[in-house]
Amino acid sequence: MPKVLFVTTSFENGAIPNILSDLAPHWLEQGLEFEALTLEAIPEEHASVKRWRALGLSLSSLNLKARDTWQAVGPLGRAIHRLKPDLLHSHLGRADIYTAWAKKNIPQVTTFHSVKRNAGRSTVWGWKLTDRRVAHRTGVSQASLDSFYADGFLRSPHSVIYNPVDTARLKPRRTRDQVLASWGWGNDVKLLCAVGRLVPVKGHAELLTAFAQLVHEDASLRLVIAGDGPLQESLNLQISTLGLQGKAVLAGGWDGVGDLYRSSEALVFPSHWEGLGLVPLEALACGCPVVSSRLPAVSEFLEEGVNGNFFTPQDSTSIVQALRGVLENAPAARERAQQGAEMVQERFSPSIIASQYLTLYRKVLLG
């Protein structure tokens, strides 16, 4: 069985550590030997690091500051030589690019977690310049890969391997009453939720505008937005300006997101674009109806009227209309969510995704 070294820019709380930790137990069962290396210092206080270490897995670091990671090629090459992997699998732009220059003759797999438009110009051209040095690239959706390959920008071998959805991480911890009581609400409210970093592309400003109209029509509605980010102050100001105090809250990095999904009438996913859209998949896995921006990546697993509902991105009026349809026929929305839960289990379970990666690693090593 080969030894794989995962190289990533950072191991801060976020998608990459979650994905690797979701897949790790299944790789261990299959006999894969692996460890992780980060360019930036390890945030030991983060849950992502604690979870990885709890699995008994090795995590080392070059201890570079974010602004200094351009110095990574030399130290990374020495670390790769010391750790002696058979294959490298990098995640995120800087890790992809520096690993390609540092790896010598060790085969490298990379994963695109977003679309090309989300990357800086220097990163995009770094991928272009190192493309011949990469054995295989994966994307977390066809939409992600199309953004790099459809126009011939990249030419390396590539394939889609979706992100896993680990339902064990979403197991219930609180009852609905306990979740609502966190914000002083009784069980007579109708809860909507959104989960994601507080950054412009996640569309929370448009969601708040839409919610202000909906709560005017139905005073029992409440909205929780779970996530941290630089827009916290401006979104709180918007909540105040719209008169939504006590009805819409920013919950920060709320622990136990599965309980939030299960307590909600719907997850609202107002992103402007996504590499895949892990949040709506998690919500569906918990049986929570999903109302989402109509995005190419999300459309790979969400189908209107079958397992979810769509609205037009960046259009608060469209958000209102889509949510009205769900709120006015909650039983049908729950039935669609159950269809979605079955789809998630069939297509996105960690055991299936872990096996797909293991098959790819063997293929790459065989040349």
pLDDT band at 221 (very low <50, low <70, confident <90, very high): very high
Of the CATH numbers 3.40.50.300, 3.40.50.2000, 3.50.30.30, 3.40.50.970, which one belongs to the domain with range 167-347?
Answer: 3.40.50.2000
**Assigned CATH for 3-164+349-366:** 3.40.50.2000
> What does the pLDDT read at residue 15?
84
Burial of 77 (0-12, 13-18, 19+ CB in 10 A): middle
At 55, list the tokens.
Answer: 């699995």
Stretch(es) of the chain classified as CATH 3.40.50.2000: 3-164+349-366, 167-347
Q: Is the confidence at residue 254, as pLDDT, over 90?
A: no
Q: Is the confidence at residue 103, as pLDDT, over 80?
A: yes
In this predicted model, what pLDDT tens digit does every residue of 86-99 receive, in sequence order? 999 999 999 999 99
> What does residue 267 show for φ and ψ, rounded to 5 degrees?
-90, 130
* Average of per-residue pLDDT values in the chain: 95
Mean pLDDT of 303-325: 96
> What does the pLDDT read at residue 68?
78
CA atoms within 13 A on the CB side of 90: 27
pTM summary value: 0.90
> How far is the C-alpha of 360 from the C-alpha of 348, rounded, in Å?
17
Q: What is the pairing mode between strands 158-160 and 87-91?
A: unpaired
In this predicted model, what pLDDT tens digit does every residue of 42-100 receive, in sequence order? 999 998 999 999 999 999 999 998 777 778 899 999 999 999 999 999 999 999 999 99
Q: Report percent pLDDT > 90 for the chain.
A: 90
Q: Report percent pLDDT > 70 for the chain.
A: 100
Beta strands in 196-272 (DSSP E): 221-226, 248-252, 266-269
In this predicted model, what pLDDT tens digit does every residue of 129-174 receive, in sequence order? 999 999 999 999 999 999 999 999 999 999 999 999 999 889 999 9
In this predicted model, what pLDDT tens digit does every residue of 282-293 receive, in sequence order? 999 999 999 999
> How far is the C-alpha of 214 from the C-alpha of 206, rounded, in Å?
13
> How far is the C-alpha of 4 from the C-alpha of 236, rounded, in Å?
44
